[in-house]
Amino acid sequence: MAVEERRARRVAVLSGKGGVGKTVITANLAAGLAAGGERVLVVDADLGLANLDVLLGVIPKITIQDVLAGSHTLEEAILRTGEGFDLLPAGSGFTGGTSFTVGLAESMDGILGQVAERYDTILFDAGAGIGDVVLFFANLSDAILLVVTPEPTSLMDSYATVKVLKQLYGRSDFLLIVNQADPNCPDQVGASVATHLQTVVSRFLGTGAEDRVRLDLVGSIPVDPQIPRSISRRQLLRESSPQAPAASVLRRLADSVRSRICA
């Protein structure tokens, strides 16, 4: 009997617009998964405006752009973080990284193939919006984690992201994180946002049982002043303020996402 080849689960963390906390959530999610025993690689997939390294307080000498260019190996680029997960950093200010090409697709497939058996989960911290590179990483993924805030602009852009991924790639299942919710009632706000977005998506993107788009709420993170403080300290919230309300939600988030992607 042939042995099924094992491959790391791929999760793309997306947002319709910038400034919704996507990178902070990605880093804390990676740390939570690693704390639960997972082997995790985070790929900074925002190839033009990378900032995961800044958030984690590391200074990469070699980036994914160097690997794609063939000037360095993947092993040289991967960094072990103090949070228990590995990071494949990207450079910032490289305009070439914002354009999708066939060469980029083939090179990324090769890179991921090299680490497919080494990790349990690979997280793509993709850029904001619906550019070609963002959509490329989304289509590579087994699961899509969409970060949204209660702001109308974020909701509109999230709908647009879901619409494009549905129309281009037939993606129908999305995990949803509501960030920057009212700290007095974060769970209620999260449920309200998820319900509203699901209603809009269901109305305009197919009502049949076979093509229905499903949004699965996995967490609602409250506005928390400790988050910007942790960013300024270049620490994850679980380290700088483990008792903060948002830290508690982020710890549970890892379990919620793990249960979905392992199902």
Quickly count: other Cβ atoms within 10 Å of residue 143's Cβ: 19
Query: 77-134: per-residue pLDDT in tens?
Result: 999 999 999 999 987 655 555 566 777 788 888 888 899 889 999 999 998 888 888 9
Extents of the domains making up the chain: 9-261
Q: Which fold has domain 9-261?
A: Rossmann fold (3.40.50)
Mean pLDDT taken over the chain: 89
Is the pLDDT at 217 greater than 90, yes or no?
Answer: yes
Q: Where are the beta strands (DSSP E) in 82-142?
A: 86-88, 121-128
pLDDT tens-digit series, residues 140-197? 999 999 999 999 999 999 999 999 999 999 999 999 999 999 999 999 999 999 999 9
Of 146, 206, 197, nearest in space to 170 by CA: 206
pLDDT, tens only, 159-172: 999 999 999 999 99
Kindly write down the DSSP assignment for every residue of 32-71, as one continuous string.
HHHHTT--EEEEEE-SSB--HHHHHT---SS-HHHHHHTS
